[in-house]
A = this chain, B = another copy of it.
């Protein structure tokens, strides 16, 4: 497997486009994205478990009942959530898109991201749908990626190439993150394309397996979004024998998808609103995978620990505190904690007690922009990794006045 360029257009037969249609006031910001497959795809999505759901999620669920799709349309600048006419608007967007693409309306995945509770007008879509479709191109993944960004500061776009049955296969993806990021059995917005042939059942299975270990292990601010969604479209153009069971080929595909989703998850954590540092917390030797996950997420979710990382302060007591209030099983007196970066690694806690370390070395390690927290529980054989970011002045600034 090797990493390649091209994002969602890296797999065979996928075009993309991104334009400014007027939902966002700033004309230099794209706010509408489209991804289209030349042929019908097996498709699946995972959705936010927030009970307050964006209208596009309701419509997409209906459209994906048959497990097939040909296109994804997504706007930024407005979440189309908590609006009285939200579903009507989402349906109208799909109709406009289906008409322009000359495909069935039920084969469209629709998504929105932005402010909650502000009416979304259909006018910008009416006015610019043909322009959007006309600009579709096999090279324009980046435009689509820009079209779904909100407070994101960097594009999150990945692709890999690998082989199944001696056929060259690809997976590509784009995602947006930044704030309101605390996926709960679902994810922020991420769109994945692949030319691999895989049955609907197997596609659904592998996506859920991978999402649990990637997107669901990210937190920027503990707030699970109303519009979280990951959608995957597989068009089979790689011409491998269709994956219909959990065999070797399923594992190859899963490994590639895991790489893509892990890369996106880390990119989303690192580009969290106001963030200056990516925090990776790896918990090993836990009694169960769930114990490891709960502890890793508790640490990277702690506001106090996140603020300490911003301040380059090796305040490991806050790590112990966050482990302590997590609902996990472990023996406090066995916990070992280390902090690491490209500047080296120091142990700060052993047997649940402070372990002497050089504050100077700690400052050196914590001055890097990617920090790893290793927690060894010495209590079992299971492990998990979670990704987060520091809590900064800019997070407060960005969210103190988001709507204006």
List residues of A whose CB falls within 8 A of some B CB: 49-53, 79, 81-84, 115-119, 179-180, 182, 184, 221-226, 301-304, 307-308, 310-311, 313, 315-318, 320-325, 330, 332, 349, 352-354, 391-393, 395-404
Give the docked Cα–Cα distance between A349 and B221 (Å). 24
Tell me the nearest residue of chain B to A51, going by C-beta: B324
Judge whether B403 and A82 touch: CB under 8 Å: no
Judge whether A303 and B393 touch: CB under 8 Å: no
Judge whether A226 and B117 touch: CB under 8 Å: no
Task: Name, among A79, A349, A403, the residue most crowded by chain B CB atoms within 10 Å (CB to CB).
Answer: A403
Tell me the nearest residue of chain B to A348, going by C-beta: B117
Judge whether B399 and A311 touch: CB under 8 Å: yes
Give the docked Cα–Cα distance between A84 and B301 (Å). 27
A374 to chain B, nearest CB (A): 17
The A interface is mostly helix, strand or loop, or mixed, namely loop
Judge whether B222 and A317 touch: CB under 8 Å: no
Judge whether A353 and B180 touch: CB under 8 Å: no
Judge whether A52 and B396 touch: CB under 8 Å: no
Judge whether B399 and A396 touch: CB under 8 Å: no
- Chain B residues near A354 (CB, 8 Å)? 82-84, 117-119
Tell me the nearest residue of chain B to A326, going by C-beta: B51
Judge whether B223 and A51 touch: CB under 8 Å: no
A142 to chain B, nearest CB (A): 28
Give the docked Cα–Cα distance between A400 and B393 (Å). 10
24 intermolecular pairs with C-beta atoms under 8 Å apart: A50-B325, A51-B330, A51-B332, A52-B332, A81-B317, A82-B354, A115-B315, A116-B317, A118-B317, A180-B321, A221-B304, A222-B222, A223-B318, A225-B321, A303-B395, A307-B395, A307-B400, A308-B402, A310-B400, A311-B400, A313-B400, A313-B402, A391-B396, A393-B393
* Given contacts A310-B396, A325-B50, A349 and B401 within 8 Å (CB-CB): no
- Chain B residues near A322 (CB, 8 Å)? 223
Judge whether B117 and A324 touch: CB under 8 Å: no
- Chain B residues near A330 (CB, 8 Å)? 51
Judge whether B399 and A393 touch: CB under 8 Å: no
Option from B226, B391, B396 in Cβ contact (under 8 Å) with A324:
B226
Give the docked Cα–Cα distance between A221 and B260 (Å). 33
* Given contacts A83-B353, A302-B222, A332-B52, A396 and B307 within 8 Å (CB-CB): yes
Taking A117-B317, A223-B321, A395-B396 as known contacts, 15 extra A-B pairs with beta carbons closer than 8 A to each other, sorted by chain A number, are A50-B324, A52-B324, A53-B324, A83-B354, A116-B320, A117-B320, A118-B354, A179-B304, A222-B302, A223-B325, A224-B321, A307-B400, A308-B402, A313-B402, A391-B399
